[in-house]
Structure 1
Amino acid sequence: MASPFQVEKVTTLTGHRDCVYTLERAPENQKFFSAGADGMVVRWDLTNPEQGELIAKVSSSVYALRYVPERNWLLIGHNQNSLEVLDLEQKQIVKTIPLPPAAIFDIQYSAQSQLVFVGLGDGTLVSIDLEKLEVQKAVRLSEKSVRAIALHPEKQEIAVGLSDHQIQILDPETLEVKQTLASHTNSVFTVAYTPDGNYLLSGSRDAHLKVWDVENVYTEHVSVIAHLFTLNHIAFSPNGRLFATCSMDKSIKVWDAQSFKLLKVIDKARHAGHGTSVNKLFWSSHWNQLVSCSDDRSIAVWALTLK
């Protein structure tokens, strides 16, 4: 496996007191947010990585964050039955939107429709009107969790990964199911459209990475055993040519986004990687740095440079 680039660990960020579950972009290219089981929401600066800034503290685990650029808000998925809307300018919670009492596994935001989609542990998908800051629709898609949501970059379609092993394709306005994809053999933990919208990628507890051909009615295009254990998250590089996957097997893998071939493995043995499950990735446009967070309470920053 000849890799076109080399990987170097830039730094390790510590300060969280428990597992770190999620990462999210910030207004500035060089900054990002993290959150996890300690309820702390922290802002980090890649140009000065030693010093994290605590910007919010909630009373339960946070699995999901979403930044809303037009309003400079950070949406915090608070697992005690609410979505917190944090105004980053004022540094205060401007609204608490009540939700059913279930874990919030994912939050996605459509700038076009001004809708926020929230996936809940009780199988409900909720759409929230950002103008009114209230729930617009809620639909129960499954007896099991909604784990992941992806918005198609152009079409009126959203993909939802469920713990009942299925992926459902929905209309974002009505939340009606247009199509069901069934081929994973365990919970679907992550879904992501390619930046051009031609393919949908999914990763599951069955350790498989699957690629679905959107233009060809979501027929299965590629299926590979990508990791040893659960595939937790998929993130695309800023230029869209690469994507990375991370897993409960403690590794991060980098893939070619056109051929879907594996290019690089980042792990503990070769790169002083994480010691436990790698939960989320954030691929920053700041020096093309890849950020990962883990159950080991740390955040790692990786530099990928062409050889």
Structure 2
Amino acid sequence: MASKVQVQKMATLTGHRDCVYTLERSGDANIFYSAGGDGMVVAWNLNDPENGELMARVSTSVYALRHLPQRNLLLLGQNQEGLQVIDLAQKAVLKSVALPKVAIFDILHTSAGQGKVFVAMGNGAVCVLAADTFELQTILRKSDKSARCLAYNKRTNELAVGYSDHAIRVFNAGTLELKYELASHTNSVFSVVYSPDGKLLLSGGRDAHLRVWEVEEQYKERGYVIAHMYTINHITYSPDGQYFATCSMDKSIKVWDAETFKLLKVIDKVRNASHGTSVNKLFWSAHQNQLVSCSDDRTISVWDIK
């Protein structure tokens, strides 16, 4: 079938000295951040993609970043060393928040109510911090296996957490009470994302299954597709919500129709000179509809999606 999605590689960004694990948007459509095994946090400009700017450097690897646009802060999960709050204007660590000395897999910020920061931890805990002061308020403990990924549904004020015990747990983001436990995956859940309209939750992970959950039907499972050969590392929606993309340990990126769940495009090494190893994270920018990917091969690729 001829796909109506055209993909062109626009740039390959190099400079990281180790696997690149995470990408994060900024307040500007053309600026994004990357971090990985070398502890470097780099800002990139899609208008001038060749030159990254070092924003911070920490002593251990970084799996998670979260930007707070209103305050121009970047939250950085430093494995074994807690949460660092980086002032982007000053390029300085504003605050270090001591957390359990384990890996930090994901960070989420909600502005509902007083605002909270959720941190998914390698010991199964989800640390809940006050958004204004970053003080630790409470710790959600529902599993002793890693909490790997977080998603927030604005419409329902729900927090979805994917765990390495194969379950997804959905909490009331305000009261933190457990509302649903979704147990279809047969291995660790590495990515959860709500559709832009808040009606669906997509999940993926080590079992390579992309699963679709109906939020308004108490998270009844709509179905699944075996989306990749190996682990699904990340799922992200396009800015207009019409498409979503998945990336995998199988080195490929796939673009899907968000309504029909049809596969529209495969981006890989053979066809598109894509990554040579696991693709870890995606960032779909509103800047000329560019999709950005990062990999264990230490590079970041920028794709023009038409």
Give the TM-score normalised by structure 2.
0.98
User: Which AA in structure 1 matches 2:125?
Assistant: T
* Secondary structure of 1:5 counterpart: coil
Residue of structure 2 equivalent to 1:60:
60
Q: Does 49-58 or 108-117 show the bigger shift?
A: 108-117
Aligned equivalents of 1:137 and 1:90: distance in 2?
30
> How far 1:173 moved relative to its partner?
2.2
> How far 1:247 moved relative to its partner?
0.1
Cα RMSD of the aligned pairs, angstroms, is 0.8
> How far 1:26 moved relative to its partner?
1.4
> How far 1:177 moved relative to its partner?
1.0
1:3 matched to 2:3? The reply is: yes
> How far 1:175 moved relative to its partner?
2.0
Residue of structure 1 equivalent to 2:295:
294
> How far 1:44 moved relative to its partner?
0.3
Aligned equivalents of 2:52 and 2:93: distance in 1?
20
Aligned equivalents of 2:87 and 2:226: distance in 1?
41
1:163 matched to 2:177? The reply is: no
1:212 matched to 2:216? The reply is: no
Assess if the C-alpha contact under 8 Å between 2:284 and 2:291 holds in 1. yes
Aligned equivalents of 1:153 and 1:214: distance in 2?
12
* Secondary structure of 1:209 counterpart: strand
Assess if the C-alpha contact under 8 Å between 1:24 and 1:282 holds in 2. yes
* Secondary structure of 1:144 counterpart: coil
Aligned equivalents of 1:61 and 1:152: distance in 2?
29
> How far 1:139 moved relative to its partner?
1.6
> How far 1:112 moved relative to its partner?
2.2
Aligned equivalents of 1:172 and 1:56: distance in 2?
30
Matches within 5 A, 1:148-159: 148-159=149-160
Residue of structure 1 equivalent to 2:222:
221
Matches within 5 A, 1:1-307: 1-113=1-113, 114-305=115-306
User: Which AA in structure 1 matches 2:211?
Assistant: K
> How far 1:303 moved relative to its partner?
0.4
Q: Does 111-120 or 287-296 show the bigger shift?
A: 111-120
- Counting aligned pairs with the same residue, the percent is 60
Assess if the C-alpha contact under 8 Å between 1:153 and 1:193 holds in 2. no
1:109-164 per-position Cα deviation (integer Å, ceiling 9, x unaligned):
11223211100000001111022220111021211000000000211211000000
Aligned equivalents of 1:128 and 1:181: distance in 2?
25
1:60-116 per-position Cα deviation (integer Å, ceiling 9, x unaligned):
000000000111100000112310000112221111111011100000111223211
Assess if the C-alpha contact under 8 Å between 1:212 and 1:220 holds in 2. yes
Assess if the C-alpha contact under 8 Å between 1:244 and 1:254 holds in 2. yes
Unaligned runs of 5+ in 2: none
> How far 1:6 moved relative to its partner?
0.8
User: Which AA in structure 2 matches 1:66?
Assistant: R
1:191-234 per-position Cα deviation (integer Å, ceiling 9, x unaligned):
00000001000001000000000111101102000000000000
Q: Does 104-113 or 237-246 show the bigger shift?
A: 104-113
Assess if the C-alpha contact under 8 Å between 1:153 and 1:195 holds in 2. no
Assess if the C-alpha contact under 8 Å between 2:117 and 2:134 holds in 1. no
Aligned equivalents of 1:130 and 1:197: distance in 2?
23
